Amino acid sequence: MSKHIEESYALAREVYASYGVNTEDAMRRLASIEISLHAWQGDDVVGFENINHALTGGCQVTGNYPGRARTADELRADLEMALQLLPGTMRVCLQGHQVDRMLPGRDRDQFSMDNFSAWLAWAQEHRLALDIAPCFYSHPKLDHGLSLSHPDPAIRRFWIDHGKAIRRIGAEFGRVLGRPCVCNFWAPDGFKDTPADRDFPRRRLLAALDECFAEEFPENELLDAVEPKLFGIGSESCTIGSHDFYLTYAARRNKLICLDSGHFHPTESVADKISAICCQQGRILLHVSRGVRWDSDHVIILNDELLSIARECVAWDYEKQIYFCLDFFDASINRIAAWVIGTRNMQKALLCGLLEPRQELIRLEQEWDFSARLALQEESKALPWCAVWNEFCRRAGVPVGFDFLPQIRAYEQQVLSLRG
């Protein structure tokens, strides 16, 4: 098997060389792109506060496949299993309620490293960088669908303090692990029906964010991101943190804008936004997800949307300005399979982008030969990228192709199926 992989790769390498593409360079670049594995696929966005807050804020996880991680220990074991099956450089991203322990009488506004220390030790042991996001939902203080923009100062205070607490924890992750932690703010705030006042809630969100971000941390410890959304379930008529709101905010305050591929109108291209933002020195956090008819957070598949997003990330060497985080959650299939399938698809898409015969395409474009450009774009879809992908996996010591599934099945039998 391994011999076939190497032989196929040798042939593919020559084919690509004839198009002016160096497959070794492509694999080197792919290996250097860090992808943040979103821990919330493993616990169905439930968190470990042991209070069983219902999932609110418009996010929904459907399915009850056995084996959801019920504790942070179980989640870490599951992540380890998934990470073994993934090539390339991985990080892990947590939600602010995925504490590894609760402390008596301390709610989210008072979380500290005491609530996350086992995560830090685990990341150190596995040489992983950590990212984090405050969790402004699934809590009774999300009132009438509002958190940071709520009119009641006491409710705002609670959420502002949560945001500050999570940033502090993130900065410590970054400091101890020696790699900056990306801390992403997404708040579900919005109105189901037409509000009389769209302005004041936005001013309140603005002031609340400024307060959250007032404490300064060096960029080698913490990078702040803000995540807009077009609409959500329960906020169909007005989302306080809309795209225009946060894009302007990120530009003014030097934050990363988070582009979630499920957060735009279905005909709007996230891929097209990448150069528009990056060419102005902007940095982007990507939440790579797949909406089916709505922001449903399906496991990402190797479709045109994913390919075009990945292509735009690598085509102009923007991958150093882009932070890749996955954001899908499916509880109707094995959760580890979901992580592995989706993450490998992200990496395959990036590889396809890296293997594109770009110099030739650009040359044709500069010569106004749009017929040949289209011809080559289409022909290049059938180039043997999969032989390069298999070789990439082989060199990384992870299963090639479908071979990752038996290990997931074995883990399901030995571990996941025993969870109640």
* Counts for the chain of helices (H) and strands (E), in that order: 14, 10
With respect to Zn ion, which residue has the nearer C-beta, 305 or 327? 327
Q: How far apart are CA 323 and CA 259, in angstroms?
A: 10
Burial environment of residue 415 by CB neighbours within 10 A (0 to 12, 13 to 18, 19 or more): middle
Helix (H, G, I), strand (E, B) or coil at 224: strand
With respect to Zn ion, which residue has the nearer C-beta, 324 or 389? 324
Q: Which member of 227, 305, 312, 356 binds ligand RNT (CB under 6 A)?
A: 227
Give one word for 393, left, alpha or beta, with left for phi > 0 and alpha for psi -120 to 50.
Answer: alpha
Is residue 131 within the footprint of Zn ion (CB under 5 A)?
no
Residue 295 binds: one of ligand RNT, Zn ion, none (C-beta under 5 to 8 A by kind): ligand RNT
Q: Cα–chain-centroid distance for residue 105?
A: 32
Contact positions with Zn ion (CB under 5 A) in 312-331: 327
327 is an active site residue = yes
Q: Is the dihedral of CA 309, 310, 311, 315 positive or negative?
A: positive
304 is an active site residue = no
Q: Residue 311 has which token pair?
A: 């292509």
Q: How far apart are CA 403 and CA 142, in angstroms?
A: 44
Contact positions with ligand RNT (CB under 6 A) in 256-285: 260
Is residue 327 within the footprint of ligand RNT (CB under 6 A)?
yes
Residue with tokens 């598949």: 301
Is residue 186 within the footprint of ligand RNT (CB under 6 A)?
yes
Residue with tokens 């989706």: 342
**Least distance between ligand RNT and beta carbon 177 (Å):** 22
Q: Which member of 260, 330, 356, 412 binds Zn ion (CB under 5 A)?
A: 260
Residue with tokens 């943040």: 36
With respect to ligand RNT, which residue has the nearer C-beta, 95 or 345? 95
With respect to ligand RNT, which residue has the nearer C-beta, 221 or 227? 227
Q: How far apart are CA 393 and CA 355, in angstroms?
A: 16
Q: Which residues face 256 on adjacent strands?
A: 225
Residue with tokens 């025993």: 418
Q: String of b and e for 379-403 (b: at least 16 CB within 10 Å)?
A: ebeebbbebbbbbbbbebebbbeee
Q: Which member of 156, 283, 287, 358 binds Zn ion (CB under 5 A)?
A: 287
Catalytic residue among 97, 255, 287, 348: 287
260 is an active site residue = yes
Site string for ligand RNT, 51-80 (x = CB under 6 A): --------x---------------------
Q: How far apart are CA 185 and CA 136, in angstroms?
A: 8
With respect to Zn ion, which residue has the nearer C-beta, 256 or 393? 256
**Least distance between ligand RNT and beta carbon 214 (Å):** 23
Catalytic residue among 162, 255, 263, 348: 263
**Least distance between ligand RNT and beta carbon 225 (Å):** 10
Helix (H, G, I), strand (E, B) or coil at 87: coil
Is residue 243 within the footprint of ligand RNT (CB under 6 A)?
no
Residue 45 binds: one of Zn ion, ligand RNT, none (C-beta under 5 to 8 A by kind): ligand RNT
Is residue 131 within the footprint of ligand RNT (CB under 6 A)?
no
- Of 53-61, 230-238, 257-265, 339-347, which part binds Zn ion (CB under 5 A)? 257-265
SS (H, E, C) 128-162: CCEEEECCCCCCCCCECCECCCCCCHHHHHHHHHH
Please report, as ranges, the residues that interact with Zn ion according to CB under 5 A.
Answer: 260, 287, 327
Please report, as ranges, the residues that interact with ligand RNT according to CB under 6 A.
Answer: 40, 45, 59, 95, 133, 186, 227, 229, 260, 287, 295, 327
Give the residue numbers annotated as catalytic, written as ranges.
Answer: 186, 227, 229, 260, 263, 287, 295, 297, 327
